[in-house]
Amino acid sequence: MINFSLEGKIAMVTGASYGIGFAMASALAEAGATIVFNDINQDLVDKGLAAYKEKGITAHGYVCDVTNEEQVYATIAQIEKEVGVVDILFNNAGIIKRIPMIEMSAKDFRQVIDIDLNGPFIMAKAVIPGMIKKGHGKIINICSMMSELGRETVSAYAAAKGGLKMLTRNIASEYGEYNIQCNGIGPGYIATPQTAPLREKQADGSPHPFDSFIIAKTPAARWGTAEDLAGPAVFLASEASNFVNGHILYVDGGILAYIGKQP
C-alpha cells in the first residue's frame, strides 16, 4: 500500500507564519505531521501560532534567522529537546527584490542570496546529522520557475533559486545513501494576498496586464492556489517518494512546458 501518512513525523517549515509556507505546513499537519516553524521575529511567530490554532493545528513556533548559523543550530537543538528530531525539513523562507540588475547594489544581491540560498544550506546542514542517526529524512527546498528561467529585474532571485536547484541535487547525491531524500518544489504563479494587486481589475474593468500575461502563458489558464501545492508537499514528505531524489517538481500549471499561443 502506498504510504502518504506523516503520522509520528516532525516537520520543520521555515518562514511558515503565513502564505505558501503556512499552506504547505497545514497540509503536512492534515497528513499527520507535528508542525514546527520559525520566523524572523516574535510578532510573525505569534501571528503564525494564532493562524494554526484557528485551523485546529497545534504548532510549535520559534524565532530564528535562517542566515544565522549559530542561531539555527541553537534552534534545532531546542526543537530536538522540546519536540523531537526533525524528520522533514521544508526550506520555504525567502525574499525577492525586483530591481533591474545594473541598478541593484551588491548588498541587495547578497541579501537575496543569503536568505534564499545560504539559509537552506545552513538549515539542511543543521538537521542532516539527526536524520542520519534516525536512518531517514526528507528535505524539500522551495525552488521556483526562476530555477530554470530568467526574467527582468530578478537577477538575484534567479541566481539564488538556480543555485538552490543544484544544492538540492547535491544533497541528494551526498546523503542519499543514508536514506535521506532531497527534492524541490517549484511553484508557478500562485494567487496569494501578496500577488492580489497583480490580479485586480483595472478602472475600466479590464484585467490587470500582468494577470492577462500569466493566464496567456499558463496552459491551465489560471493562477495556482496554495492548495495546489498541498499534494506535492505531502508526496515529497512521505514514504511514497522514497525513491525520488534530486528532483524538482514544478507546480506551475504547465508554464515551463509551453511556448505560448501564436499571435
Indicate which residues carry an active-site annotation. Answer: 157
102 Cβ partners below 8 Å, 6+ apart?
A: none
In angstroms, rounded to a whole number, what is the distance separating the alpha carbons of residues 183 and 105? 31
Please report the sign of the dihedral spanned by the C-alpha atoms of residue 10, residue 113, residue 15, residue 225: negative
> What is the residue type of 238?
S
Q: Which residues, 6 or more positions from 161, have their beta carbon under 8 angstroms from its beta carbon?
A: 116, 143, 144, 146, 147
State the sign of the Cα–Cα–Cα–Cα dihedral 177, 36, 158, 225.
positive
User: What is the rounded CA–CA span in Å between residue 10 and residue 90?
Assistant: 11
